[in-house]
Amino acid sequence: PVSNQTTLYVRAMADYWPLQDPAIPCADAGLPFKKGEILQIVDQNDVFWWQARKVSDLSACAGLIPSNHLLKRKQREFWWSQPFQPHLCLKSSMFFIGISCYSALAAPYEEVVRYQRHPADRNRLIILVGPAGVGVNELRRRLIASNPREFSSAIPHTTRVQKSYEMNGREYHYVSKETFENMVYSHRMLEYGEYKGYLYGTSIDAVRTVLDEGKICVIDLEPQGIQVARTHELKPYIIFIKPSSISCMRQTRKNARIITDYYVNMKFKEEDLQEMEDSAKKMEAQFGQFFDQVIVNDNLQEASEQLLSAVHRAQDEPQWVPAIWIC
């Protein structure tokens, strides 16, 4: 353990169901948990089975969980048992033995500590993640508009030509393709993509600029970019914007008469709603362990209010963060 914390706390990087684990000595004594949950490790004396409690229920009895060592061994056994099937590579990077969707490349548990930002420290970067159409952009726009002196987005870079009404450094930083590609190769981009033949992306320096001004930087990111952004320097707080159930979305997003201007301009077809739900499920399955907060965007006004209070909590209240950020 690092810092002055003597008890070990970890973030579970996968779900675990003891009743579906044939290896557990006593399934009734197992502690089921979901990815992202914070566990207090009470006993690590056994090589294979640790005892743990959830921090959300510290008054409960401790239960058995597989040790780091056991989970890693299961991963290795799983990999060796797989025939070489290139077309299955993506699917088989997840395996299931009482442990759901466990990425074979990731550590089973991540050691975490409680972190309270000092008022003199930089603000934590706020990352919004969510499927297309769920309103991530709109929520970010509203948050920044609610107090532009407190919140700001990072100015992206692009290789497209500057328009007459635009200013370099205001809408975008306009750079050559070569400069942009150099930034990508030197890992200076948090994310980037191509649109109509031009490159667009957000650099780590652009985020730093906002943080150095003392503001709270709010960006949206494809979930694939989370790992790049999860650094000691940026200490990102990751908020997943989740669509409500399809039946709720049918009401709010298809029936333009009863809703806000935003949804009036964005009419969704049934297949768009289905796609949004499927995409949200995939994001949660693959990246849910990194989400510090989940906000269901059922109603834009309510979701905006929840976002504002989550962002303030992230800056002002103690939060669990990876231990390696703090040592």
Residue 33 backbone zone (phi > 0: left; psi -120 to 50: alpha; other: beta): beta
- The DSSP bridge partners found for residue 307 are none
Q: Binding of ligand 5GP at residue 84 (CB under 6 A)?
A: no
Q: Binding of ligand 5GP at residue 165 (CB under 6 A)?
A: no
Q: Which stretch binds ligand 5GP (CB under 6 A): 35-43, 88-96, 187-195, 291-299?
A: 187-195
Cβ 172 to ligand 5GP, closest distance in Å?
7
Q: Which stretch binds ligand 5GP (CB under 6 A): 107-115, 190-198, 252-260, 264-272?
A: 190-198
E-strand ranges in 116-236 read 126-129, 151-152, 157-158, 173-174, 189-195, 198-203, 216-220
Under 8 Å between Cβ of 53 and 139: no
E-strand ranges in 73-118 read 94-95, 102-103, 109-115
Spell out, one character per residue from 4 to 23, where the chain touches ligand 5GP: x when CB under 6 A holds, - when not.
--------------------
Q: Which stretch binds ligand 5GP (CB under 6 A): 1-9, 68-76, 195-203, 310-318?
A: 195-203
Q: Binding of ligand 5GP at residue 223 (CB under 6 A)?
A: no
Q: Binding of ligand 5GP at residue 159 (CB under 6 A)?
A: no
From candidates 76, 160, 177, 269, binder to ligand 5GP by CB under 6 A: 160
Q: Distance (Å, rounded) from C-alpha 279 to C-alpha 129? A: 11
Q: Binding of ligand 5GP at residue 188 (CB under 6 A)?
A: no
Q: Distance (Å, rounded) from C-alpha 70 to C-alpha 254? A: 49
Instruction: Name residues whose C-beta falls within 8 Å of residue 262's C-beta, 6 or more positions apart in sequence.
Output: 135, 138, 300
- The DSSP bridge partners found for residue 151 are 216
Nearer to ligand 5GP by Cβ, of 76 and 160: the residue is 160
Q: List residues near ligand 5GP by CB under 6 A.
A: 156, 160, 191-193, 195, 200-202
